Amino acid sequence: MRKFLFALLMLVVLGSCKKNESESTIVYQDNLTIDKMTWPSDSTSVHIRKFYQGHYFLEVDSVPNIISYSFAPFGTLNYPYSVQVDAILQINNSNEIGFVGIIFNRVDKNNYCVVELCSNSTYRIWKRTNGSITNILTSTYSSIINTDNSAKNTIKVIQGSSSIQLFINNASLGSFNLSIPNVYFQVGVSTSTYLVPVIGLFNNFIIEKI
């Protein structure tokens, strides 16, 4: 009986340890409803950022501005993580093509990755390496994406040591080969377009260590 109880105790302990190892830890969280004057921004040209009616507001307002982006003020990361945000894309008319998404693995202005949702129900993943752009995933259609003007989509990227997983509105859209940088990096939000203006509204930004 004593041996049985000991074995049962060990199973409980081991099971608890395994659960703890798989848990993630929130390292930064911001609902992005109040301007705390802490989100730095950057852009390839001109950008407008502000808080508007309870959202973080990031606009592409001039051509040839390719992308406007802003970083979480958490500092820098150097470990596997996940990043998630609620994003709303606003465009003036249905003839415009706009994108809203997450910028991640950002080492500097010439080295970063972006996952974006488009106003035409597609999503894509691309990276800039030493200034040159490479497609990790070309524009792919998904009925998961909400495309009504001002409709919300929840975007989540899980970055492991050698690959990422993409989730949109809690649905998995696959895994892709992409290694984590071997230096410190940042994550944040982005808006981009071929026409102007395009506005991205963001809320509920979360970074978790995995």
For residue 177, the model assigns a pLDDT of: 97
Average pLDDT, rounded, for the chain? 84
Identify the bridge partners of residue 123 per DSSP, sorted by sequence position.
117, 140
Tell me, yes or no, whether 147 lies in a domain.
yes
Tell me, yes or no, whether 173 lies in a domain.
yes
The CATH number that applies at residue 59 is 2.60.120.560
User: How far is residue 58's CA from residue 70's CA, in Å, rounded to a whole number?
Assistant: 8
User: How far is residue 40's CA from residue 74's CA, in Å, rounded to a whole number?
Assistant: 11
Q: What percent of the chain has pLDDT over 70?
A: 80
Instruction: Spell out where the chain has E strands.
Output: 25-30, 41-43, 48-52, 55-60, 67-71, 81-91, 98-108, 111-118, 122-129, 132-141, 152-159, 163-168, 171-177, 186-193, 198-209
For residue 63, the model assigns a pLDDT of: 64
What are the tokens at 31? Answer: 């609902």
Cα angle: 50, vertex 94, 46; to 5 degrees: 35
Tell me, yes or no, whether 11 lies in a domain.
no
Question: pTM for the complete prediction?
Answer: 0.85
Tell me, yes or no, whether 197 lies in a domain.
yes
Determine how many CB atoms are found less than 10 A away from the CB of residue 176.
15
Do 187 and 71 touch, CB atoms closer than 8 A? yes
Tell me, yes or no, whether 135 lies in a domain.
yes
Tell me, yes or no, whether 177 lies in a domain.
yes
Range(s) of the domain holding residue 128: 25-209
Look at 75-79, 96-100, 194-198 and tell me which has the smallest mean pLDDT: 194-198
Tell me, yes or no, whether 7 lies in a domain.
no
Question: Dihedral, CA atoms, 80, 161, 125, 46, nearest 10 degrees?
Answer: 50
User: How far is residue 163's CA from residue 175's CA, in Å, rounded to a whole number?
Assistant: 7
Could you tell me how far CA 151 lies from the centroid of its own chain?
Answer: 17
Please count the structural domains in the chain: 1
Q: For the segment 8-67, what is each residue's pLDDT rounded down to a tens digit? A: 444 433 444 443 445 789 999 999 998 776 776 655 444 567 888 899 988 887 665 578
Look at 60-64, 82-86, 117-121 and tell me which has the smallest mean pLDDT: 60-64
